[in-house]
Structure 1
């Protein structure tokens, strides 16, 4: 153990050396403060010059944003790769359906031409479209999940349902015999993708056999969305070359709903 005299001498030595250490550390702190102030002055000089040269320009947190100019954004343009088409004009020509060709003009009766404006003016319209002998009741905006995978179609393709047994609105219904001529209406759908069901495994065995077979199935289905269900006006039919004929048994008739 140290004696009291040794401890007193050690404390006196520490008192003598402490002011020297503090005095030596003070110039270092002053030098650091002077260095920081000089760097701040140098960094503030280009900002003052920039503000003096451009006094009306708005200040920004980043100096790069002050130098760059905002780009002119055109809202009227349409980008096929990033945006979803909303109208028929936005659909690329390669994705549009092929226009059908007919050998004879459309034949409509006088009663149909007189009642057609009532059906056209009442929206929304519905159509009972037939696909592979299965009826589908469709309106604009509906989503369809076909019970099979449609071949040779991709996401984004537009299809037209041209076989319909009925077409109508809230108070009127047009019935075909057996179908309505596709030149009277338009029903367009868009392929949105493919859906698949969960993997199913079925075990199959035979009598007096120890081997068990596993049959795996994972079906896929085509998804669609109805884009447009529209009934053409009498003026449009006449402009396309429709011919008004007398009443016949196989002509389409518009019936009011009771």
Structure 2
């Protein structure tokens, strides 16, 4: 049986005989190795992410991209661009106007009756431009020439911007020296007056205070009216050839037929 003193002496000898590198440097080396492995792992992850982000899916060449871009642009549908201020978007003839927007053809029971004096003076009236017209709309006369802007004193229903309207009720039509008067109105087959709806204009808000006697309550009536804006596109007098082609009949002088008078 060994005593405690013998075990202590043996342990002291073993400590003295063991090399110092194993006892003191082993944990430091282990710590250093763990730290180096962590740094290496983080560096490897960074390099992998950089390589994956910089590596393209397709080869770095300009020709495939250019070809694909050309094919995409060729295959893409062409969308027509609409410019409201361009001349191409404004209809100039009856064929450019949609069928739903075209004016209704007038229907008459009898042909147009024109006198000899009117047929003789009509070429002089056609040759003098610009022409003016006194057109009526809701029993209100409007003196119009080509290019004028008209603001109606009301909002015209069922009308949108861009619609073309025709004024077919006129009391007078003339130029600088000649005037054709109706009794009381001119036949709409003698002229053409077309206007284009440009938009709607509104006035500032008006507030009117209403009170009653022996009452302290005051009511406010608000009103903000809107008006239709138009632009005269065409004021034209038909030539004698056009009237004859449409079936006009030349008759003798009468009081009911329109006459062309010289302006004093």
Q: What TM-score, normalized by structure 2, do the two folds share?
A: 0.67
Give the drift of 1:233. 0.5
Q: Give the deviation of 1:196 after TM superposition.
A: 1.1
Per the alignment, in what secondary structure is the counterpart of residue 213 of structure 2? Answer: coil
Is the deviation greater in 90-99 or in 139-148? 90-99
Q: Kindly report which structure 2 residues correspond to 1:129-148, keeping only aligned pairs within 5 A, or say none.
A: 129-148=135-154
Bigger Rg, structure 1 or 2: 2
Q: Distance in 2 between matches of 1:121 and 1:208?
A: 70
Q: CA deviation at 1:151?
A: 1.9
Uncovered stretches (5+) of structure 1, i.e. residues with no partner? 1-41, 51-61, 72-77
- Aligned equivalents of 2:240 and 2:100: distance in 1? 30
Once the two structures are superposed, residues 125-163 of structure 1 have per-residue CA deviations (whole angstroms, 9 ceiling, x without a partner) of 110001112110111121110001112222222211111
What CA distance in whole angstroms lies between the structure 2 residues aligned with 1:63 and 1:228?
52
Partner SS, residue 234 of structure 2: strand
Is the partner of 2:123 in helix, strand or coil? helix
Residue matched to 1:232: 238
User: Cα offset for 1:255?
Assistant: 1.0
Paired position in structure 2 for 1:185: 191
**Is 1:167 the equivalent of 2:182?**
no
Match of 2:20 in 1: none
How far 1:63 sits from its partner (Å)? 6.0
Contact 1:95 1:156 in 2 (8 A): no
Q: CA deviation at 1:84?
A: 2.6
Q: Please list every run of at least 4 consecutive aligned residues from structure 1 whose deviation after the TM superposition is greater than 6 angstroms.
A: 78-81
Conserved? CA contact 1:196–1:218, under 8 Å: yes
Match of 1:194 in 2: 200
Structure 2: how far apart are the matches of 1:46 and 1:100?
A: 66
Matched, 1:124 2:130: yes
Matching residue of 1:153: 159
Q: Aligned equivalents of 1:215 and 1:227: distance in 2?
A: 39
Q: Structure 1-normalised TM-score?
A: 0.69
Alignment length, in residue pairs? 201
Root-mean-square deviation (Å): 2.9
- CA offsets 1:163-206 (integer angstroms, 9 cap, x no match): 11110111111111111110000011122221111111111111
Residue pair 1:172, 1:256 contacting (<8 A) in 2 also: yes
- Conserved in 2, the CA contact under 8 Å of 1:174 and 1:255? yes
Q: Could you tell me which residue of structure 1 aligns to residue 108 of structure 2?
A: 102
| SS of residue matched to 2:247 | coil
